[in-house]
Amino acid sequence: MKKLFTFLFIACLSLAVYAGDKDRKGTTGADQLLIPVGARGIATGGAFIANLTGLESIYYNPAGLDVTAQTEAMFSYLNYIADINMSYFAAATSLGDVGSIGLSIKTMSFGDIPITTADFPDGTGSTYSPSFIVLGLTYSKVITDRISVGTNIKLINETIVNTSATGFGIDVGVQYRFDNRLSLGVALKNIGPNMKYSGPDLQTSTSIPGSFIGTGGGTFEITAEEFQIPSYFELSVAYAYPFNEQNSLVIASTYTANNSLEDLFLFGLEYSYLNTFFIRGGYDMLVENSDESIYGFTAGAGISYQIGDQIGVGFDYAFREVKDFPSSNHIITVKLMF
């Protein structure tokens, strides 16, 4: 119990330090770090911080990676907003008593964007496509039958033609299981130094004011301002209720304390039949200015099938309501377990 009280005390202190600040909206970058992955996690509103295990836990709470203690691979595709799409691939394996290790990559697709200049404001006829990539290395370990911990180290790169910014962030998480039903989870996300754009495209050649005719021009470089990555803290509780040997229900709630947005309450549930067929739902709500949230309800379904004694396959689908945009989010995830 002393460990539990210490755990809760640290969690409360962290909530105070990382309280939401809506006045800092637009002051951070690398917002691709905030785009969730995995159809199961999205369908349950991102609330399964305390009990999510396997590869999807890399994003939500890396402490859950070692709980399943097997080899997994997954691919997820998200139809985001404004013709932006996201692809995510991850693989992990158990190292026995040492723990589990995983690798992940998230890429964004923006399509072809017309190049415009001061001389050609309507476009030069050429296009460019930004490259946003997040690479992750995750380690997780089950400490006792109740406690698991994990960390995820991320390399972040944004490239726009010849201008780029590179940084890194760290996620840390803990899951505590009181028993087979009640779980508590804590995760601290995207802790890292500031990022800054640089590159030859920020250089411009110009004439020097006051110089004589025939004097060569000069070159100046725009100095981009540094920006923070969007860190936040999450505290979650989950409860699993088995109706009988065939039917069960899991409900969860998470409080998210952002450093540059309003805080969030997340709610999610999952019904399973024979631990094979799943129906999910969720909702996220801003603590302040709830009417300004562009996201609403989430829902989804999934199937997990065992082939023989060694191989398992899974397919999940999720839908997330998006307001003020012509289409909502659709997510598919395919998993292989062996």
Q: Read off the tokens for 320.
A: 């997330």
Give the amino acid at 306.
Q
Contact 289, 295 (CB under 8 A): no
Amino acid 67: pLDDT: 86
Closest to 132 in 3D by CA, of 278, 34, 52, 64: 34
Distance of CA 151 to CAs 69, 135, 169, Å?
A: 16, 14, 11
Angle ∠(24,29,32) on CA atoms, nearest 5: 120
CA gap 317, 77 in Å, rounded: 10
CB burial of residue 336 (10 Å; 0-12, 13-18, 19+):
middle
CB atoms within 10 A of CB 223: 10
Angle ∠(232,249,176) on CA atoms, nearest 5: 45
SS3 193: coil
Contact 212, 229 (CB under 8 A): no
Q: What is the DSSP string of 141-154?
A: EE-SSSEEEEEEEE
Amino acid 63: pLDDT: 96
Mean pLDDT on 32-45: 96
List pLDDT tens digits, range 117-176.
888 888 888 999 999 999 999 999 999 989 999 999 999 999 999 999 999 999 999 999
Q: Which residues contact 312 (CB under 8 A, 6 or more apart)?
A: 304, 305, 306, 335, 336, 337, 338
The winner for highest mean pLDDT among 26-35, 103-112, 317-326 is 103-112
SS3 224: coil
pTM: 0.88
Amino acid 6: pLDDT: 53
pLDDT over threshold 70, residue 190: yes
Domains and CATH numbers, the chain: 2-337 (2.40.160)
Contact 260, 21 (CB under 8 A): yes
CA gap 60, 188 in Å, rounded: 10
Share of the chain above pLDDT 90, in %: 67
User: Bridge partners of 312?
Assistant: 306, 337
Amino acid 9: pLDDT: 47
Angle ∠(208,214,216) on CA atoms, nearest 5: 45
CA gap 151, 63 in Å, rounded: 7
Distance of CA 19 to CAs 231, 258, 259, 291, 305, Å?
A: 11, 6, 6, 20, 42
Amino acid 83: pLDDT: 86
Q: Which residue has the higher pLDDT, 319 or 310?
A: 319
CA gap 188, 63 in Å, rounded: 11
CA gap 53, 72 in Å, rounded: 11
DSSP state letter for 309: T
